[in-house]
């Protein structure tokens, strides 16, 4: 079963998305805080395959989190870092989007 | 909200499908042979010009010196057969493609790959693959691509888990 970390400050959105992912037989752990996401990722022996971050409320804080998560993969103890998807409900600043894509994450627009 | 999330779910499923494919078939490499004789393909005398990692339609050349290009090509041709260092050395010495490597250009370009150096060469190839993936910002462990496994007798055998395409060219200019 795929193991996904969902980082989302918006509680309602997080619950909805987590339920949809679970309905597709995916195992989801939710985390409402940016600064806790890396700790969650590194604090388990069962590696996450994918991280989904909701960047809609605070894209800049989200970018820092994306950067920290993407850099995890170059840690020799954590080489197989997870893939990262950033979900947003509005158009991102193009520079921000480029930065996210350059880190190896993927931006997905809702709706 | 339900429809709005459909694109996110699609993105998640695409990423997971890509991961599954990578785990089962490995990444795609292209190996370019040049100096072939017109009308022939993959015969002795050709040169292994470059090994390229293909990711999402784009090509990233691995920076491999001659000995590593030869070893990579050999492991790619025999990727269904895990081989020990001694088997690899014997295979390279007995295959006229590698014995006459590059001879069509007027001078052979060969390297003697000894069993004692295979382990180090494998490490260097993994480093080159890791560097290519670092450029791509992709989290792939090169040890999952160029695999080494222990036999019952504690000997290591090596195997390339990847899809490989060979391209052939008469001259360098057409690469």
Model confidence at A44: pLDDT above 90: no
- Note the ipTM here: 0.86
> Which residues have CB under 8 Å from A70's CB, separation 6+?
A81, A84, A103, A104, A105, B137
Higher pLDDT, A45 or A95: A95
Q: Is residue B8 part of a domain?
A: no
**The domain that contains B90 carries what CATH number?**
1.10.10.10
Report the top-level CATH class of A3-109.
alpha beta
Structural domains of chain B, count: 1
Distance from CA of A78 to the nearest CA of B (A): 10
Q: Is residue B4 part of a domain?
A: no
Task: Tell if the CB–CB gap between A74 and B138 is shorter than 8 Å.
Answer: no
Q: Which of A8, A55, A70, A87 to mutate to test the interface with B (most CBs of B within 10 A)?
A: A87
In tens, the pLDDT along B92-151 reads 999 999 999 999 988 889 999 999 999 999 999 999 999 998 888 777 789 989 999 999
Please report the DSSP string for A17-78 in residue order: HHHHHHHTT-EEEEE--HHHHHHHHHT-SS--SEEEEE-SS-HHHHHHHHHHHHHHTTSGGG
Higher pLDDT, A104 or A88: A88
Domain extent at residue B117: 25-174
pTM score above 0.90: no
């Amino acid at each position: 079963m795929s193991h996904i970390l969902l980082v989302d400050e918006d509680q309602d959105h997080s619950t909805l998305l987590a339920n949809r992912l679970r309905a597709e037989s995916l195992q989801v752990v939710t985390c409402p805080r940016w600064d806790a996401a890396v700790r969650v990722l590194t604090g388990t022996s069962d590696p996450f395959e994918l991280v989904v971050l909701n960047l809609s409320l605070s894209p800049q804080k989200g970018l820092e989190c994306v950067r920290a998560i993407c850099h995890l993969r170059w840690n020799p103890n954590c080489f197989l870092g997870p893939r990262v998807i950033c979900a947003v409900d509005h158009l991102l600043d193009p520079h921000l989007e480029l930065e996210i894509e350059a880190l190896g994450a993927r931006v997905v627009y809702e709706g | 909200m339900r429809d709005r999330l459909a694109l996110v779910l699609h993105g998640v499923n695409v990423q997971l499908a890509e991961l599954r494919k990578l785990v089962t078939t490995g990444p795609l490499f292209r190996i370019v042979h040049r100096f072939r004789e017109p009308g022939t393909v993959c015969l002795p005398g050709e040169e292994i010009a470059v090994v390229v990692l293909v990711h999402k339609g784009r090509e990233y050349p691995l920076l491999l010196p001659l000995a590593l290009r030869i070893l990579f090509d050999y492991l790619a041709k025999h990727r269904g057969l895990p081989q020990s260092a001694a088997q690899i050395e014997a295979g390279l010495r007995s295959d006229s493609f590698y014995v006459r490597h590059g001879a069509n250009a007027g001078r052979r370009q060969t390297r003697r790959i000894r069993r004692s150096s295979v382990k180090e060469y494998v490490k260097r190839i993994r480093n080159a693959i890791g560097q290519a993936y670092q450029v791509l910002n992709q989290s792939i462990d090169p040890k999952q691509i160029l695999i080494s496994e222990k036999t019952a007798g504690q000997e290591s055998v090596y195997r390339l888990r990847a899809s490989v395409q060979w391209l052939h060219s008469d001259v360098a200019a057409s690469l």
